[in-house]
Amino acid sequence: MTEINKELTSESVDMVENTECGLDDVQAEVQADCQAETQVEVQTESQESGEKKKKVLAEHELTHEHIVGNVEERLELPSEETINKKPKTKKEKTKKILTTTLFILFNVIAVGVVLFIEIKDSNFLGFQDVMRRIGEHYEWLLVLIGAFIAHLLADTFVFFAMINKCGYGHRYSLSAKVAILGSYYDNITPYSTGGQPFQMHYMAKANIDAPTAITLPVVKHAIRVFAMDGLAIAFFIFAKTEVSGVVLAGTIIWIIVTPMLPLILMIFSKNIGFTLKMTRKLVHLGKKMRLVKDEEKAIAKAQDNVDSFIAAFKFLGKRKSIILIVGVLSLVDLFAVATYPYIIVRMLGGDGSFGELISKAFYTTFSSGLIPTPGSSGAAEASFYNVFSNVAPEGTLFWAVILYRVFTFYLPILCGVVLQIVDAILGKHKGKAKLVKKEITWLSQKTINNKNR
């Protein structure tokens, strides 16, 4: 029995050195588990030792410390050191400058086209006249600022509620940063695709375990999509308004396409066995394409990553309180943004049906969201100009477009830039998040390495 224990200890140490856990106490844990639960048949032949090590690895249960300490590395999120260690090449710098220049130029052209069309109108109001009119209705400017703040706060408390539910306590500052920077990156990337990946990275850098960091933006997006489509459809039905065929077609496509990703995730999370099987097949395909060297190791790692993500997704998906909180806050967020056009029209001295203008706002958002430009630049201006051309007070349509884009596009970018400057001055992730509960709350939902939990 003594010889068996010694060989088991040796095998366990070799196994741990080939994994990414790298903890000093793994040897003692594996030895204790083997003594209590199994008696492993040890083959002395050196040809079979490799196969035995793989079996021990497959049966080894990941502890809470493994997941918290090394999950970021296992999911291959880049570390701060890695990012800072590799300086940008001259080609990358040139590409960034060119991209930024084109981004600014595109927005200037979009605004310039609207101005060129509107300035021909003999009733066009100059800057001073518009400022005077806004001053006459300053209370609506305050309401518009309040709506923008409500939008930011609602988004902030969505992340605050989910971070707290996953065991990391009350993180007001982190939640606000994640919300603001997510909006910033959404507005500078095509199809608004940059916000979620950056939010995942930012939370992981703030010491939140990677599966949680990856899952929170996805869960928020899934609930938000259904809340947004439901709210918009309700206004389309009960506050009907006429729009062009192009805008209507774009809106219909948006409503059909946007729920697809959340629905796919829900389907895969319901059938974990099928999902893990598909993961194995994808890794095997990578092996055939010579993208994967060690197939078995890659399969074990990929399946554990997928299992962790699904566990976190299922944990939050089963919490009705979180779904309700995120759903209500998403409705507040969406409704606040949808009121921008109505408030702007009133601020410029106009009038109109509240419900009708909310419907027009959703038509504008949905139809322009299909265009793959950063922040829907160009498309948003054109869509707003088309939808609100008969609503804005005479001579103010250009200024209505500008004000709408300031609060939906330029102001979120400005907030993100200011926050990044403050982060750079004060130091990123000051006061990193710490787990306040005994373990990460979604661990109980894991399928792999969870037999004894």
| Model confidence pLDDT, tens digit, residues 148-168 | 999 999 999 999 999 988 888
Strand partners, 190: 374
Position 431 scores a pLDDT of 54
d(CA 419, CA 176): 10
| Lowest-confidence pick of 37-41, 116-120, 212-216, 279-283 | 37-41
More confident residue, 102 or 179: 179
pLDDT of residue 439: 53
Dump pLDDT digits (tens) for 83-98: 444 556 767 777 777 7
Q: What pLDDT does 18 receive?
A: 43
Contact 331, 231 (CB under 8 A): yes
* Alpha-carbon span 342 to 152, nearest angstrom: 19
Q: Is the pLDDT of residue 413 over 90?
A: yes
Tell me: pLDDT of 199 over 50: yes
Query: In the chain, where are the structural domains located?
Result: 2-60, 90-442
The predicted model gives 206-218 an average pLDDT of 85
- Find the range with the poorest average confidence among 149-163, 187-201, 249-263: 187-201
Contacts of the segment 352-356: beta carbons below 8 A, 24+ positions apart: 352/391, 353/239, 355/235, 355/238, 355/239, 356/239, 356/240, 356/241
DSSP assignment string, 211-278: HHHHHHHHHHHHHHHHHHHHHHHHHHHHS-----HHHHHHHHHHHHHTTHHHHHHHHHHH-HHHHHHH
Binning pLDDT at 50, 70 and 90, where does residue 67 land?
very low
Q: How far is residue 329 from each of residues 155, 159, 228, 290, measured CA to CA in Å?
A: 7, 10, 11, 46
| Residue of 72, 313, 102, 23 lying closest to 200 (CA atoms) | 72
At residue 249, does pLDDT exceed 60? yes
Phi/psi for 374 (5° steps) reads: -55, 125
Both structure tokens of 46: 């050196």
Tell me how far apart the alpha carbons of residues 225 and 258 are, in angstroms, rounded to a whole number: 7
Q: Is the pLDDT of residue 338 over 90?
A: yes
